[in-house]
Amino acid sequence: MEQYLLIILKILVASSIFFVWVIRYNNIIEEFKKYNYPDWLRDSVGILKLSFGVMLLWNDNLIILSGAAGLVLLMLAAVGTHIKIKNNFSDAVPAIMQILMNGLIIYLTLI
């Protein structure tokens, strides 16, 4: 049962990262402007998130753990940004959900 949940979570996380950073990239551009962050940071975060998302789809536990841990760190930074600019809690929910899902991926990969 845990293996099926792990597969579903990995696909869900990877596809949501792809959707936000490729399909909805124009929204990301606007968000980073609102945060007053430089373009190079936005692009670096995007490259890292997409890379970590792809790592979840590998068949090697160390690579999966690295991808999930990298996403947790980036999402913690995202929550920090939401707190810093005093966004509504609802704006931080997607990042919080990513932290929880990637934490579960780490746990299920280790058991």
Distances (CA, A) of 58 to 11, 71, 86, 94: 11, 15, 37, 24
H or E segment and range at residue 88 = none
Identify which of 80, 81, 53, 78 has the alpha carbon closest to the alpha carbon of residue 67.
Answer: 53
Count of the separate structural domains present in the chain:
1
Identify which of 2, 46, 5 has the alpha carbon closest to the alpha carbon of residue 27.
Answer: 46
Longest dimension (CA), the chain: 44
Angular region, 25: left φ>0, alpha ψ -120 to 50, beta rest? alpha
Segments of the chain with pLDDT less than 70? none
Sequence-separated contacts (24+) of 23-27 with Cβ below 8 Å: none
Residue 70: the pLDDT is 98
Residue 93: the pLDDT is 98
Domain extent for 14: 2-110
Residue 102: the pLDDT is 98
Residue 1: the pLDDT is 87
Say if residues 57 and 80 touch (Cβ distance below 8 Å).
Answer: no
